């Protein structure tokens, strides 16, 4: 006889947390998404040792009352959808699972300091500080704090040593964090996003600018000045699932040796899609030197019914049913942007 037992709650919780929280960058992603969903105009991300020792995300969003924050750290609690029908009709927020805060709290020491924004109609306008340690709420007390929310995550995986051991060196973990914060900063030029690592500011956007200005804050002036606009709607695209393609792509001589500077978004959501990156590169044809890749910040509009938002929280990959159609549409859009700027020899042979 095998002994089939029901796992105890603490074990179930930590296993479930691992589905959401894989490494520091997954915590940063969840917290930044929450800040954006909370209507913030400023999001400050600070990490220590690649996020392994500390992660702080501070925003000036709508904030929470004591009752709200107490509820928010419970299991499967969300203010963003009510039931599956809301999900079917399309969600306008980045989050909706109600898993992240609970999961983060289960595998770290979590401190939330929050106060409802003054334009909210709440009975209780005071600030609150709540702490969670390894899944247990350890304190809830009034706090003098600015409007908005600051979330601190210390000692990630202190109670899951196997996971903690699996984390990479600081530099590698930070590179993942940087990719996440960069992708949100580029997509939201109207929000001031900053990233600081071990006391040094990596970048800060102004929140006042356009896409090109966000690119300048993140990648520097030379890259920003080399970017050419892409703005193509459905009528100008070959047949395919996309309704439009817009954004910025770099001059063929402004390149790097990896593809990671090709940032792509589906309906505002950051995705990594090999096929999309390939299509962008393809559009440059022979203008790119061997093993060199351009910069891109490219937004793909897909009709709401044609994308499934209910993907795995950690998965950034997206697949299109008509991948060939998408590739052709993107290639056409980028090609025409480069042609408009005289950056492609029209009719030049392509590989
Ligand atoms: P989800 O984002 O899927 O709703 P989370 O666990 O990430 O689930 O957050 C739970 C709830 O906590 C959110 O629905 C929201 O109401 C609240 N919340 C989380 N972060 C913030 C924040 N930065 N500002 C205001 N409210 C927040
Ligand atoms: Mg969330």
3-state class of 136 per DSSP?
Answer: strand
> Using CA atoms, how far apart are residues 184 and 40, in angstroms rounded to an integer?
13
> Using CA atoms, how far apart are residues 311 and 317, in angstroms rounded to an integer?
9
* Weakest mean pLDDT among 21-35, 88-102, 336-350: 336-350
Over residues 12-22, mean pLDDT: 86
> Using CA atoms, how far apart are residues 139 and 135, in angstroms rounded to an integer?
12
Q: Angle 104-310-132 (CA atoms, 0-180°, nearest 5)?
A: 10
3-state class of 107 per DSSP?
Answer: coil
Is a pLDDT exceeding 60 seen at residue 200?
yes
Strands of the sheet containing 262-266, edge to edge, are: 227-233, 244-250, 296-301, 262-266, 269-271
pLDDT (0 to 100) of residue 9:
87
pLDDT (0 to 100) of residue 306:
67
pLDDT (0 to 100) of residue 305:
65
Question: What is the 8-class DSSP label of residue 238?
Answer: P
| Higher per-residue pLDDT: 209 or 47 | 47
* CB atoms inside a 10 Å sphere around CB 152: 18
pLDDT (0 to 100) of residue 213:
96
Identify the band that residue 351 occupies on the pLDDT scale cut at 50, 70 and 90. very low
Mutate to test the pocket of ligand 1, among 55, 101, 105, 120 (most ligand atoms within 8 A of CB): 101
pLDDT in tens, 291-349: 999 999 999 998 866 666 556 656 667 777 788 999 999 999 999 999 999 998 755 45
Is a pLDDT exceeding 60 seen at residue 350?
no
* Weakest mean pLDDT among 21-30, 114-123, 265-274, 321-330: 265-274
ipTM greater than 0.95: yes
pLDDT in tens, 259-291: 999 999 988 888 888 889 999 999 999 999 999
pLDDT (0 to 100) of residue 315:
63
H helix runs in the chain, sequence order: 9-20, 24-37, 66-72, 84-88, 100-106, 161-166, 170-187, 211-219, 221-226, 274-284, 323-340
Over residues 107-112, mean pLDDT: 97
| Higher per-residue pLDDT: 33 or 90 | 33
Termini Cα distance of the chain: 62
- Tell me, in angstroms, the distance from the centre of ligand 1 to residue 242's CA: 31
**Ligand 1, atom 14, residue with closest C-alpha:** 78
> Residue 319: which residues within 8 A CB-CB, separation 6 or more?
273
* CB atoms inside a 10 Å sphere around CB 341: 12
pLDDT (0 to 100) of residue 20:
84
3-state class of 40 per DSSP?
Answer: coil
Q: At what angle do helices 24-37 and 170-187 cross, to 10 degrees?
A: 20
- Tell me, in angstroms, the distance from the centre of ligand 2 to residue 94's CA: 7
**Ligand 1, atom 19, residue with closest C-alpha:** 34
CB 248 within 8 A of CB 210: no
- Tell me, in angstroms, the distance from the centre of ligand 1 to residue 78's CA: 6
> Residue 296: which residues within 8 A CB-CB, separation 6 or more?
247, 248, 249, 250, 261, 262, 263, 264, 280, 334
> Residue 144: which residues within 8 A CB-CB, separation 6 or more?
127
Q: Pick from 14-23, 87-96, 286-295 the range whose average pLDDT is largest.
A: 286-295
Q: What is the CA radius of gyration of the chain?
A: 22
pLDDT in tens, 216-238: 999 999 999 999 999 999 999 99
> Residue 287: which residues within 8 A CB-CB, separation 6 or more?
252, 338, 343, 344, 345, 348
**Ligand 1, atom 13, residue with closest C-alpha:** 78
Burial class, 145, CB count within 10 angstroms (exposed 0-12 / middle 13-18 / buried 19+)? middle
pLDDT (0 to 100) of residue 318:
75
3-state class of 73 per DSSP?
Answer: coil
Query: For ligand 1, which residues put their CB under 6 angstroms from it?
Result: 30, 34-35, 38, 59, 61-64, 72, 77-80, 95-102, 149
Q: Which residues are paired to 72 by β-bridges?
A: none
Q: Phi and psi at residue 74, in whole multiples of 5°?
A: -75, 170
**Ligand 1, atom 17, residue with closest C-alpha:** 72
In 3D space, the residue among 51, 57, 54 whose CA is nearest the CA of residue 22 turns out to be 51
Question: What pTM, to 2 d.p., does this model score?
Answer: 0.92
């Amino acid at each position: 006889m095998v002994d089939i037992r029901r796992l105890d709650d603490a074990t179930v919780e930590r296993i479930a947390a691992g589905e959401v929280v894989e490494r520091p960058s997954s915590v940063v992603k969840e917290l930044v998404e929450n800040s954006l969903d909370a209507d913030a105009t400023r999001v400050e991300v600070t990490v220590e040792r690649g996020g392994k020792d500390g992660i702080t995300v501070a925003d000036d969003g709508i904030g929470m009352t004591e009752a709200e924050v107490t509820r928010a750290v419970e299991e499967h609690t969300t203010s963003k959808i009510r039931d599956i029908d809301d999900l079917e009709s399309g969600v306008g927020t980045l989050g909706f699972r109600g898993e992240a805060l609970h999961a983060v709290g289960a595998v770290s020491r979590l401190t939330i300091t929050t106060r409802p924004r003054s334009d909210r109609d709440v009975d209780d306008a005071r600030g609150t500080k709540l702490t969670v340690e390894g899944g247990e709420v350890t304190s809830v007390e009034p706090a003098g704090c600015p409007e908005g929310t600051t979330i601190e995550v210390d000692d990630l995986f202190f109670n899951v040593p196997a996971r903690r051991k699996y984390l990479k060196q600081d530099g590698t973990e930070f590179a993942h964090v940087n990719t996440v914060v960069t992708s949100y900063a580029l997509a939201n030029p109207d929000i001031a996003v900053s990233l600081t690592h071990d006391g040094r500011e990596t970048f800060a956007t102004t929140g006042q600018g356009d896409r090109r200005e966000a690119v300048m804050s993140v990648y520097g002036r030379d890259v920003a000045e080399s970017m050419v606009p892409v703005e193509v709607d459905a009528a100008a695209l070959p047949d395919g699932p996309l309704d439009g393609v817009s954004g910025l792509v770099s001059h063929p001589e402004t390149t790097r040796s990896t593809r990671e500077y090709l940032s792509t978004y589906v309906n505002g959501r950051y995705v990594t899609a090999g096929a999309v990156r390939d299509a962008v590169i393809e559009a440059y044809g022979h203008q790119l030197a061997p093993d060199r890749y351009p910069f891109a910040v490219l937004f793909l509009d897909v009709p709401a019914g044609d994308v499934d938002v209910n993907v795995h929280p950690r998965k950034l990959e997206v697949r299109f049913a008509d991948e060939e159609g998408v590739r052709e549409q993107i290639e056409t859009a980028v090609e025409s942007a480069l042609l408009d700027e005289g950056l492609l020899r029209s009719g030049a042979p392509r590989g």
